[in-house]
Amino acid sequence: MTIGSVQIPEKHAINFTVAKSKTEEPLRECVRDALNSYFVYLDGHHAVGLYQMVLAEVELPLLETVMKHAKGNQTKAAELLGISRSTLRKKLTQYRID
Protein backbone atom coordinates (compact mmCIF):
# COMPACT_ATOMS: atom_id res chain seq x y z
CA MET A 1 0.00 0.00 0.00
CA THR A 2 1.33 3.47 -0.84
CA ILE A 3 0.33 6.59 1.08
CA GLY A 4 1.75 9.68 -0.55
CA SER A 5 5.25 8.62 -1.50
CA VAL A 6 5.60 6.13 1.36
CA GLN A 7 5.32 2.40 0.68
CA ILE A 8 3.70 0.60 3.62
CA PRO A 9 3.76 -3.20 3.88
CA GLU A 10 0.21 -4.59 3.76
CA LYS A 11 0.48 -6.11 7.23
CA HIS A 12 1.09 -2.61 8.63
CA ALA A 13 -1.44 -0.81 6.46
CA ILE A 14 -4.36 0.81 8.23
CA ASN A 15 -7.66 1.51 6.57
CA PHE A 16 -8.53 4.90 8.03
CA THR A 17 -12.29 5.16 8.15
CA VAL A 18 -14.69 7.48 9.86
CA ALA A 19 -18.13 6.41 10.94
CA LYS A 20 -20.71 8.36 8.98
CA SER A 21 -24.27 7.45 9.84
CA LYS A 22 -24.41 3.68 9.54
CA THR A 23 -21.69 3.36 6.90
CA GLU A 24 -17.93 3.68 7.10
CA GLU A 25 -16.11 6.04 4.80
CA PRO A 26 -12.33 6.42 4.27
CA LEU A 27 -10.84 9.52 5.88
CA ARG A 28 -9.89 10.95 2.47
CA GLU A 29 -13.55 10.74 1.41
CA CYS A 30 -14.59 12.64 4.54
CA VAL A 31 -12.04 15.33 3.70
CA ARG A 32 -13.30 15.43 0.10
CA ASP A 33 -16.92 15.73 1.29
CA ALA A 34 -15.99 18.49 3.73
CA LEU A 35 -14.19 20.43 0.99
CA ASN A 36 -17.11 20.07 -1.39
CA SER A 37 -19.46 21.33 1.34
CA TYR A 38 -17.09 24.23 2.00
CA PHE A 39 -17.13 25.25 -1.67
CA VAL A 40 -20.93 25.09 -1.71
CA TYR A 41 -20.96 27.24 1.44
CA LEU A 42 -18.67 29.78 -0.24
CA ASP A 43 -21.32 30.14 -2.96
CA GLY A 44 -18.83 31.32 -5.57
CA HIS A 45 -16.77 33.52 -3.25
CA HIS A 46 -13.00 33.21 -3.46
CA ALA A 47 -11.25 30.79 -1.07
CA VAL A 48 -7.88 31.87 0.33
CA GLY A 49 -5.33 29.76 2.19
CA LEU A 50 -7.20 26.53 1.62
CA TYR A 51 -4.12 24.31 1.84
CA GLN A 52 -3.08 25.64 5.26
CA MET A 53 -6.67 25.54 6.50
CA VAL A 54 -7.05 21.86 5.60
CA LEU A 55 -3.65 20.98 7.06
CA ALA A 56 -4.52 22.68 10.33
CA GLU A 57 -7.90 20.94 10.50
CA VAL A 58 -6.25 17.54 10.10
CA GLU A 59 -2.91 18.13 11.81
CA LEU A 60 -4.25 19.54 15.09
CA PRO A 61 -6.41 16.53 16.04
CA LEU A 62 -3.68 14.21 14.76
CA LEU A 63 -1.11 15.78 17.09
CA GLU A 64 -3.51 15.92 20.03
CA THR A 65 -4.51 12.28 19.64
CA VAL A 66 -0.97 10.99 19.17
CA MET A 67 0.30 12.99 22.16
CA LYS A 68 -2.51 11.56 24.29
CA HIS A 69 -1.72 8.03 23.06
CA ALA A 70 1.97 8.59 23.84
CA LYS A 71 1.01 9.91 27.30
CA GLY A 72 2.83 13.16 26.57
CA ASN A 73 6.09 11.45 25.61
CA GLN A 74 7.35 13.54 22.70
CA THR A 75 9.98 11.02 21.63
CA LYS A 76 7.38 8.27 21.37
CA ALA A 77 4.90 10.59 19.63
CA ALA A 78 7.51 11.70 17.09
CA GLU A 79 8.36 8.07 16.39
CA LEU A 80 4.67 7.21 15.89
CA LEU A 81 4.30 10.13 13.48
CA GLY A 82 7.53 9.39 11.63
CA ILE A 83 8.93 12.87 12.22
CA SER A 84 11.84 14.18 14.26
CA ARG A 85 11.29 15.25 17.85
CA SER A 86 12.34 18.81 16.95
CA THR A 87 9.73 18.94 14.17
CA LEU A 88 7.12 17.65 16.61
CA ARG A 89 8.09 20.32 19.16
CA LYS A 90 7.73 23.04 16.48
CA LYS A 91 4.28 21.75 15.57
CA LEU A 92 3.21 21.51 19.22
CA THR A 93 4.30 25.12 19.70
CA GLN A 94 2.58 26.19 16.47
CA TYR A 95 -0.74 24.70 17.62
CA ARG A 96 -0.18 25.68 21.28
CA ILE A 97 -0.39 22.09 22.48
CA ASP A 98 1.15 21.48 25.90
Residue 94 structural domain: 48-98
Q: pLDDT per residue over 52-79, tens digit each?
A: 999 999 999 999 999 999 999 999 999 9
Look at 16-20, 27-31, 56-60, 81-85 and tell me which has the smallest mean pLDDT.
16-20
In a shared domain, residues 98 and 52: yes
In a shared domain, residues 98 and 53: yes
In a shared domain, residues 5 and 20: yes
Ranges of H-type helices in 13-95: 27-42, 50-69, 74-81, 85-94
pTM, whole model, 2 decimals?
0.69
In a shared domain, residues 61 and 39: no
Task: Determine the distance from the C-alpha atom of residue 74 to the mean position of all C-alpha atoms in its chain, rounded to a whole number.
Answer: 18
What span, in angstroms and rounded, lies between the C-alpha atoms of 18 and 1?
19
